[in-house]
Amino acid sequence: MSGKLLKSAVVVGTASSFAVLGAAADLADASRGRLQAKGPQLLIAGRNVQRARAVAPGDSIERTIVLRVRGRGELRVVALAVKAKRASLLTDRTQGLRLSMVRCSRRWKRRLRAHSYTCRGRRTRLVTRKPVLGRRRLGLRLRRGEKAYLRLTLTLPTRAGNALEGQTSTLVYRFRAVAQATR
């Protein structure tokens, strides 16, 4: 079977975030089972990453994510963890999807009549073609009001075999951030 004839429905992704605030957390409300956080919070613009359908070997899927900080202070976004809510051969470490991520200093714009994005700002590569599942270090720093414009790319390798035909997976993307100490 020709590589381009192999089609798979790929990803329904959910982007979520949480900030680990460490010393900035207030434990006064812990007796009621709640932890109130003082300081910055990491927010994601838009909660869901769009579905991708009919992906053949060699195809790439691009999606954009905007991270921002609410509250006072600075956050260090230290990691992106991708887990499978529903796994398949698409998440296989050897022949499955590969993840890449690039940050741009300006907003990503969708190209006309294309399913890809371009950016006219300064670009920084954060993750380069790693197996989709796992935890990746990012090393982003964000201050109040600052936004991180990210382009997430999933690529199905050209060597993907026929066993991936008709496979589907659901992925969850979780960003982890740590508050910077204030002086």
What percent of the chain has pLDDT above 70? Answer: 74
What percent of the chain has pLDDT above 90? Answer: 19
Q: Supply the pLDDT for residue 57.
A: 86
pLDDT class for 99, splitting at 50, 70, 90? Answer: very high
The answer to whether the beta carbons of residues 99 and 153 sit under 8 Å apart is yes
pLDDT class for 71, splitting at 50, 70, 90? Answer: confident
Q: What is the mean pLDDT of residues 143-156?
A: 88
Q: Supply the pLDDT for residue 153.
A: 92
Q: Supply the pLDDT for residue 21.
A: 35
Edge-to-edge order in the sheet of strand 11-20: 48-49, 11-20, 169-179, 74-86, 134-143
Q: Supply the pLDDT for residue 38.
A: 61
Q: Supply the pLDDT for residue 86.
A: 82
Lowest mean pLDDT among 32-46, 101-115, 146-160: 32-46
Q: Supply the pLDDT for residue 7.
A: 44
pLDDT class for 111, splitting at 50, 70, 90? Answer: confident
Report which of 177, 172, 166, 140 is spatially closest to residue 39, judged by C-alpha positions.
Answer: 177
Report which of 42, 61, 54 is spatially closest to residue 4, judged by C-alpha positions.
Answer: 54
Q: What is the mean pLDDT of residues 131-150?
A: 88
pLDDT class for 123, splitting at 50, 70, 90? Answer: very high
Which residues span the domain enclosing 81? Answer: 3-179
User: Using CA atoms, how far apart are residues 101 and 99, in angstroms rounded to an integer?
Assistant: 7
Please give the tally of structural domains in the chain: 1
pLDDT class for 46, splitting at 50, 70, 90? Answer: low
